[in-house]
Each structure stands twice: as C-alpha cells, then as structure tokens.
Amino acid sequence: MSPRVVTRLAAAIALSIMAGAVAAQDPEAAAESGDHARSSATTLDTVQVTAQFRAQSMQETPIAISAVNAEMMEARGQTSVLDIAASAPNVNIKPAVGNYGSGAAISIRGIGQYDSSFALEPGVGIYIDDVYHPTIFGSVFDLLDLERVEILRGPQGTLAGKNSIGGAVKLYSRPPDEVPGGFVEATYGASSRIDLRAAANWVLAEDSLFMRVSGVSKKRDGYMTRYDYGCLNRDSGVPAQATTPDCVLGTEGGQDFQGVRAALRWLPSEKLEVNLILDAAEDDSEPPATKLLHGPDPRFLTDARFVNYSTYTGTGWRAQPRSTMSSRGASLKFDYSFDDRHTLTSISAWRDYEGGWGVDADGSPLEFYTQAWDVEYRMLSQEFRFNGSALGDRLDYTIGTYLFDGKGVFAGIAQIPNLFALHDDPVQSKSKSAFAHTVYRFNDRFDVSAGVRFTDESKSYGFTRTDPVTGLPQSAIDGQVGHYSGSRWDYRLSGSFHVTDSTMLYASYATGFKGGGINPKPFVPAQVVPFGPEKLDAYEIGFKSDLWDRRLRLNGSLFYNLYDDILITITNGYGGFPASAMPVNAGEAEVKGAELEFTVYPVEGLSIDGSLAWLDFDYTSLSEIALASRMRYGMVAPYTSKYKASVGLQYEFAFDTGALVPRLDTNYQSSFYTNATNTLTGQVKTATVYNARLSWRPWDADWEVAAGVTNLFNKYYYLNKIDVVSASNIATASPARPREWFVNFKYSF
C-alpha cells in the first residue's frame, strides 16, 4: 500500500474523529437539541449468522466472517454483491469481462474462478437462502430485500461443501413475519438511472400464515460509446455501418434488470415451520464496457476514455450486443422440531436460467474475433439436516446429506483465429455428499468443533462443432464426449477460547476442494481430457472482540494455506493452436495472509468501520505444461491482490426535526493480474475509490431521503481485463463507471 494512500486514509479517519469529538464536547447542549434522542447506534449490533448450521452470534463463530445486515447495507448504499465485496478483506469480486457474459470473477484469499464455462466449477460457493448457485454465469445478485449477507473466508469444505474451497458468499432474504408493512424506494441519478424497489408483508392468518413480496427494477444508460470507425473516417477503407450523422452505433455498460420474490411462511403447529420462496428475474442489459488496449491494427486504439469501435460483426454475420439472463427458482424448506433440542430440516430447490451475450473481443471493426453465446442451465437439489444436542447440552451436532443434479447447454457461434464453428455442448453434473459437524463445550469458555464431509461427483461434457454455412461437422471433436468423476473427504477441526466475556481466540484446520471437469475448448479429440480437482489445507488463528463497553469491535486472523493441483486456464495457446485456452492443474503454492476488521463508535453519533488485508501467494511447484505456457515462480494466481483496505465514516447530526447523516466510504485495492502468466497487459492497476452519501431522516415520519455520489473523485480505473496478446494479439479492459450522482427516496409503511 503506497504511503500516499495510507496518509489519505489516516487523515480521513483523524478528521472524522475530531469532528465527532467537537460535536460531543457539550453533551448537555446535545441533549437540549430536541425531545428526540439520536437514533444512531452507540453500541455494537449483534449480528446473527448460520455458518455452522445453527443461528449464533458472528462473534461466537470461530470462522473469519464479514457479515452485514439490512441496516448496514442501506447506510452504505450497497445494492449488489460487488458493493459488499469491496469492503471485505481479501475478497475480490469483479464483474465479468464481455467474453464471459452475465457473471463475476470471484476470488477469496487468492482462490476463485472467472471463466463462466459450465465445464468449470466456482472456487467460491454462492448461496441464496441456503440454496447453492452452481455456476459463475448469473452470479452477480442484486441485494433485493435481504436480511443479511455473510462472506465466509477460507475453505468451507465440511460446512458449505464442494467448490467452497476459497470461501462462501451467503445471501439471506428477509422472511415473512407477524408485522404487516413494507416499503417503497425510488432512486434517480446520472446516466438516466432509475431504480425502484418495494416490499410488503401480510398476515394471512394470525400467528400461522405470513407472506412477503418484494420487487426491483433497475435501468441505467451505458457509458461506453461505440463509434463507427468507417463512418468517422470515410477515407480509411473501412466500410461505414452507422445510419446516424453522429456515427454512433450504440453503447456498452447499460443496465435493464427486473426481479421479483414471493415468500410464504406457514406455522401449522408449534413443531413445524414451512417456508416457500419463489423468484424470477429478467436481465436485458448491454455488454460490459470494453476498452481495446492492444490490437493488431493500431488505428482502432483511442485515447478517449469511454470510446471504442466495436461493431460485433463477423464474416458474413453479426453478434447482438447484449448481456441477458432470465432466471426462475423455487425453494421449499421444512423445519420440524421434535423437542427443544432436536430439529429436522429439509431444503428442496429448483432453478432454471438461460441467457446470452455477444462478444467483440477485438474491440474494432475487424471480423476475426467475434462470438455470440446462448446458454441455459437447470438444477435440482435436496438437502437434509438433523440438528441435535446431547450430554447435558454440552454437545451440539448436525448430520446431513446433500444431492445435486445439474444439466446445461453451452451453445453459440465463435469466430476466432483457426476456428469458425457453431457450438452446442451439453453438460451434466451430479454430486452427492454426507456430512457431520459437532461442537463440544468443555466449559463456559472453551469449545471444540469438528466436522467431516464425503463428496462423490461426476460430470460429462459433450462437443458439437459444425460449420455455420454447411451444417456439417467442422472438426474431429464433433460428437466427442468427455467424462470426469471423483470423490473426496474433507475435514475441519477448530477450538475457541473466551479469554474474557468479550474476547475470543480461535484456531482451526480445514480442508476444501474445487471439483474437476473436462477441457471445454479442445481442437482435436486428444484434447478432450479431464482435469483434476483443486485441493486446499488451511491453518488459521484469529480473535474476535467487542471492547470498550461494546463500542469497539475488532476481529482479526492469520492464515497459512497449502494449495495443491491449482487449476489455471492457459490462454496463450497449446498444441500448435495459438488462439486456444485449456484448464490444467498447474502446481502447488503456499498462501499466507492477515486480516483485520473493525467497527468503532468513538463518540455519540460517529461510527467508523473498515478492514485491512495482506496476502502473499508463492508457487512452490509448477507442472511441465505450466512452465511451457510461460508461467514462472514468483508469479501469482489471477485476481490476487497483495493489499486491500477500506474505511467507512459516518456521523449523525441530530436536530429538533430529524437526523442528517453524511457518510464517506473509501476502498483501496492493490494491483492484480487477470491471467496466469502475469503479463503487463493483463494487470489491473492499484485503485482507491471514494463514495459519498448524505441522508435526512425525520424523527416523526416514515420517509427518508438521501443523495450521493459514486466514484467521488472521478477516477478512471479498470475493473477487469482479458489478455490474449500471445494467442491473438488482443488485450481489452472493462473501465469502471465515471463519477455519478443519485438521489434516493424511501417510504416505509
């Protein structure tokens, strides 16, 4: 972290504390400001989590967790998973580049996944109301009417299951309850931004039947303008395509999203609770903003920040500039309590989603790197859990099983060097597991937890490669099917010791894995080969503390990971095919790190929250194919930042009529690479971003108004990159949105 950034962060904290101290010098004067007391917290909230299969305080859970509730998300103006990840230590979630459709590159502690191919498994598990989302595609979730979000760092192999090797992100919606009411919220802002949110809760039968319905609509114009190069440069020899005088073909980065969720909660008896959740979403957005950084024709490089010359044209065809997804899902949860200590839980879930996206990977009028994809996926899952207590309530235990069945099709047309073909690839994935988790309390201060999970998985991936013109097989891999299967035991052992009533120390050993699969991009039958799973052994020590009469929360951890059979996608060609990519088990690494999270209320009305993170990634072994692809010792895994920090400052000014609350959030992240070979054209540089928000909340009213600015200092920086210079002489980046303002109004009833 640069000294300049450290100085800025320290100065911001110091100024805010001084301002709060000045405001609090005369407590009697503050009390005389009106009959209404401050509504801001002066002591820490108790955040409930369910990371160990039962509700408990985050401060009592021996796992590194970043958890935020609905009030925290609202105060920070967080509306998506991307926003929450920005302030979580050693968590890197970036929107996918245009090549990968509607999804995200997700990494925790240097472990993750960025390619949306159904052949590859996520490295961080995503869960919505305890239901696993199995693909990178469709993984950027709107925070619609959520009760809380939990980000679990480190392998959750026994708790969350396979593909949670780096950690897990868990979203929990607000359940229906016995209090009727709801809210309506509207946001208007720059780029014609219009966001609408609403939720309502009904009591259908007193004490037994409740329903909650929520919805969201988000629309915003694109910020990257696509100009027609041939129209702007009539003598260039490039054919003009634009039909308007300004030579504009369209924009990228625009958003058009709608979603709805309906939840029904039924309490037919004191022993049984039934929860049914139905949801649907439609995303008809533009492709991500794409900036050409390196290309075969320098004419199409431009210094203009938010301009490209993408035409989405191939040879004799055109891709539609879009990034769409249509999703439908349902989950049914039964909780039956035999008595106060024994509960059986069943979670049945179904989800079906489909979408498509166009790719102009050369970012120019050239026709040699254009793609259009249409994908669909359907999943069914069933989980059973039995929670119980024994030995005079000293022992809590959970045993359970999990079944998963997923089917998808990855189809489209791809025109890249050495290949022009129609794809129609079916994929099928199955998994079953059994698990157990126990917590034994020796006394009021010392606990030991132990867990185990066995997983058996299989996957098949079929290949169709036909000529777009003739419909005949385009290559020898047409009709080939690859198969993978494997099984794995995972373990967890941890101990926690309460030094005082407010300070806990813990230590843990945990394992996890990311499932194997089949190379999705072969050129010859010999390349239709499986790859093995990644594996991780993780050692961690940490502490959790609520100090200073519960006005200071300080949580920290140190970890050491042994990372084996690391799965890396080689993007600089192999086997004589330069424009190719292949996932391989590249080697082993040691990963070390430190994390610190804090929340403090130094004076009444002032709150400061933040985090610091350090990560050291070191390859200790590289395979022959990794070395042949120009990976070297000293490089790091994709999406691994060495440093990350965040600070949020908020102060509530109390007046006779209400509260004025300014808030400033600062997020710093050091540079990271988006490819395994750590090229300069694949490096996303260090960025520090500031967001500001000012809200007014009357004491005796049911409404609140806020205004804010994102990217306050209008920093031009990249969210993501893709570098295939060695394979296709192309590198592109996704610029972040420029500075934008918004106003927000919320009415509760």
Question: Amino acid identity, residue 296?
Answer: P
Token pair of 563, please? 């990372």
Give the pair of three-digit tokens for residue 152: 């679990």
Q: What residue type is assigned to position 557 of the chain? A: S
| Whole-Å CA distances, 426 to 86, 321, 420, 481, 604 | 35, 24, 19, 9, 59
* Residue 569, CA distances (Å) to 275, 581, 586, 599, 616 in order: 41, 6, 9, 39, 21
CA neighbours closer than 13 Å in the CB half-sphere of residue 504: 22
Establish how many alpha carbons lie within 13 A of residue 146's alpha carbon, considering only the half-sphere containing its beta carbon: 26
Q: What pLDDT is attached to residue 257?
A: 96
Q: Looking at the DSSP assignment, which residues form a beta bridge with residue 148?
A: 69, 172
Report the chain (749 residues): mean pLDDT per 10 consecutive residues.
46 40 38 41 83 93 93 86 91 91 92 92 95 90 88 96 95 95 97 97 96 97 97 93 93 96 97 97 96 93 95 93 96 97 97 96 89 96 97 96 97 86 96 98 96 98 92 90 96 98 97 95 86 97 96 97 93 55 91 98 95 98 91 96 97 96 97 95 97 96 97 97 88 97 97
Distant-in-sequence, close-in-space partners of 270: CB < 8 Å, separation ≥ 6: 337
Beta bridge partners of 220: 255
Angstrom distance (rounded) from CA 521 to CA 575: 12
Residues 401, 432: contact at Cβ < 8 Å? yes
Pick the CATH number of 3-25+54-478+536-748 from 2.40.170.20, 3.30.413.10, 2.60.40.3080, 1.10.10.10: 2.40.170.20
Helix (H, G, I), strand (E, B) or coil at 241: coil
Dihedral angle, C-alpha 24, 25, 27, 32, nearest 10 °:
-90
With b for 16 or more beta-carbon neighbours within 10 A and e for fewer, the 17-26 pattern comes to bebbeebeee
Q: Which of 240, 224, 241, 239 is nearest to 304 (CA)?
A: 224
Amino acid at 241: Q
SS3 content of the chain, % helix, strand, coil (to 5): 10, 55, 35
What is the H or E stretch that residue 242 is in? none
Q: Which residue has the tokens 């030579």?
A: 247
pLDDT at residue 14, rounded to an integer: 40
DSSP assigned state of 99: G
Helical segments of 515-671, H only: 624-628
CA dihedral 66→69→75→76, nearest 10 degrees, is 30
Task: Return all residues near 186 (Cβ < 8 A) that are at least 6 apart.
Answer: 194, 195, 196, 197, 744, 745, 746
CA distance 727 to 572: 5
Q: Which helix (H) or strand (E) holds 737?
A: none
Phi, psi of 83 (to 5 degrees): -65, -45
Please, are residues 690 and 698 in contact by the beta-carbon 8 Å criterion?
no
Residues 6 or more apart whose CB falls under 8 angstroms from that of 445 comprise 497, 498, 499
The amino acid at residue 374 is: D
Nearest to 637 by CA among 712, 565, 692, 742: 565
Residue 197, token pair as written in the block: 């949110």
Residue located via tokens 């120390």 = 505
Question: Taking Cα atoms as reference points, which of 478, 402, 470, 413 lies closest to residue 436?
Answer: 402
Can you give the pLDDT at residue 44?
A: 87
> Where does 22-157 show beta strands of DSSP type E?
48-49, 56-57, 64-69, 91-95, 104-108, 111-113, 124-128, 131-133, 146-153
What is the b/e burial string over 453-465, where b = at least 16 CB atoms within 10 angstroms of the residue's CB?
Answer: bebebbbbbbbbb
Global pTM reads 0.91
